[in-house]
Amino acid sequence: MQTHHAKRVEIIIEAPMEGRLTRALVKAGVTGFTVLPVLGGSGRSGEWSREGQVGRAGGMVAVVCLIRPDRLDGLLEAAFAVVDRHIGVVSVTDCEILRAERF
């Protein structure tokens, strides 16, 4: 099976910022992303869990984008402008994808 190099960008960010981040990604030309719920975790800001939370303030979401390597810088600049001062993690990993024309 033919596969192609791509970058997988995973941004874990506070749930109230989700809409701002995804709008910034779309504005930067990112055509596809997936938003995943995050159950809980722990970091510099302490432990947190989505269990029982009624509001969104205490929750986090993961936004995952698979993009061509040449588009990475544009995506990171757009994402960083939103997430810079917020709690969260941004990671980039190499991956292989099928159907490169879709990315």
Q: Which part of the chain contacts other proteins (CB under 8 A), choosing from 27-35, 44-52, 64-72, 94-102?
A: 44-52
If one asks whether residue 20 binds other proteins (CB under 8 A), the answer comes out as yes
CA 57 to chain centre: 18
Among 85, 93, 94, 101, binds other proteins (CB under 8 A): 85
Nearest partner of 33 among 75, 65, 76, judged by Cα: 65
Sheet holding 34-37, edge to edge: 34-37, 60-67, 4-14, 88-97
* Cross-strand partners of 94: 7
Q: Does 41 bind other proteins (CB under 8 A)?
A: no
Instruction: Report residue 14 CA to chain centroid gap.
Output: 11
- Binding range to other proteins, per CB under 8 A, among 11-19, 28-36, 61-69, 71-79: 11-19
Asked whether position 73 contacts other proteins by CB under 8 A, the answer is no
53 binds other proteins (CB under 8 A): yes
